[in-house]
């Protein structure tokens, strides 16, 4: 109990920061210049194979994931990651998830998922893929794998560019810090405008 005078605490107890709600999605950097989307798929496949083997979902390589999108089974991947420039359009992404056996009520609206929706997905054990369109052109994909009850609330982001030699992860440059596993933190508002660099334009959820 803190010391008090007339009911006023002299040394009020400081409540511990609430534990963040984070799914055990293990980071995989993108292995090709434009393979952020393939890395997101691989992280989710590995997560389900490890944590929910009864789902029958199996992890495969990023190269094989690219093959699912391209529609071939032979290994087509260039040795040089800079030459791996297979991009995946926003309207193609759902087809890739389905081809990788992620199809139970998969949703892909051209919209931002609310914090309420994000919390429900994390509670249900489902990562979320976010599609970013850069203001300078092009796009990027990353995962939301958790959130923290900070003030304001923050999202836990796993960006395929982390630990990659193919670019810098802007979500590790924010003053909000990082998680113990290196994942970035950002607010919902900052993710909506991609830290002032673009716009969150697509969401893939119910990934199970």
Tell whether 13 is covered by a domain.
no
Give the pLDDT mean for 74-103.
86
Determine the structural domain holding residue 186 and report its residue range: 27-204
Task: Indicate whether 2 pLDDT > 50.
Answer: no
Residues 127-173: tens digit of each pLDDT? 999 999 999 999 999 999 999 999 999 999 999 988 765 566 565 55
Tell whether 198 is covered by a domain.
yes
Rounded to the nearest angstrom, the gap between the alpha carbon of residue 118 and the centroid of all alpha carbons in its chain is 11
Per-residue pLDDT at 165: 58
Residues 12-65: tens digit of each pLDDT? 444 455 567 999 999 999 999 899 999 999 999 999 999 999 999 999 999 999
> Do residues 176 and 154 lie in contact, with contact meaning Cβ atoms separated by under 8 Å?
yes
User: How many CB atoms sit inside 10 A of residue 101's CB?
Assistant: 14
Tell whether 11 is covered by a domain.
no
Cα separation, 124 vs 208, in Å, equals 10
Give the pLDDT mean for 98-106.
89
User: How many CB atoms sit inside 10 A of residue 180's CB?
Assistant: 7
Task: Indicate whether 126 pLDDT > 80.
Answer: yes
Tell whether 38 is covered by a domain.
yes
Per-residue pLDDT at 12: 44
Q: How confident is the model at residue 120 (pLDDT cuts 50, 70, 90)?
A: very high
Tell whether 145 is covered by a domain.
yes
Average per-residue pLDDT for the chain: 85
The tokens describing 2, both together, are 């803190």
Q: How confident is the model at residue 105 (pLDDT cuts 50, 70, 90)?
A: confident
Tell whether 35 is covered by a domain.
yes
Per-residue pLDDT at 113: 97
Tell whether 189 is covered by a domain.
yes
Per-residue pLDDT at 14: 44
- Structural domain total, the chain: 1
Give the phi and the psi of residue 79 in degrees, each rounded to 5: -70, -35
Cα separation, 162 vs 142, in Å, equals 10
- Residue 53 belongs to a domain with what CATH number? 3.90.70.10
Per-residue pLDDT at 77: 83
Tell whether 22 is covered by a domain.
no
> Do residues 142 and 40 lie in contact, with contact meaning Cβ atoms separated by under 8 Å?
yes
Per-residue pLDDT at 207: 95
Considering only residues 191 and 172, tell me which one the structure prediction assigns the higher pLDDT.
Answer: 191
Per-residue pLDDT at 184: 87
Cα separation, 135 vs 145, in Å, equals 25
Task: Indicate whether 4 pLDDT > 80.
Answer: no
Considering only residues 54 and 6, tell me which one the structure prediction assigns the higher pLDDT.
Answer: 54
């Amino acid at each position: 109990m803190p010391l008090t005078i007339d009911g006023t605490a002299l040394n009020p107890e400081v409540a511990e920061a609430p534990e963040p709600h984070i799914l055990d999605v293990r980071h995989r950097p993108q292995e090709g210049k434009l393979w952020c989307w393939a890395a997101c798929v691989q992280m989710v496949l590995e997560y389900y194979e490890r944590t929910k083997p009864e789902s029958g979902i199996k992890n495969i390589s990023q190269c094989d994931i690219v093959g699912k999108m391209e529609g071939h089974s032979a290994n087509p991947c260039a040795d040089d990651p800079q030459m791996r420039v297979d991009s995946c359009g926003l309207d193609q992404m759902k087809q890739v998830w389905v081809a990788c056996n992620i199809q139970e009520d998969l949703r892909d609206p051209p919209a931002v998922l609310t914090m309420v929706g994000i919390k429900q997905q994390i509670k249900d054990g489902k990562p979320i893929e976010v599609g970013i369109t850069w203001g300078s052109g092009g796009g990027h994909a990353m995962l939301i794998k958790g959130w923290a009850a900070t003030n304001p609330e923050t999202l836990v982001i796993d960006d395929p560019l982390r630990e990659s030699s193919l670019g810098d992860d802007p979500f590790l440059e924010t003053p909000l810090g990082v998680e113990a596993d290196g994942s970035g933190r950002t607010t919902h508002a900052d993710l909506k405008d991609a830290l002032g660099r673009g716009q969150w334009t697509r969401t893939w959820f119910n990934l199970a």
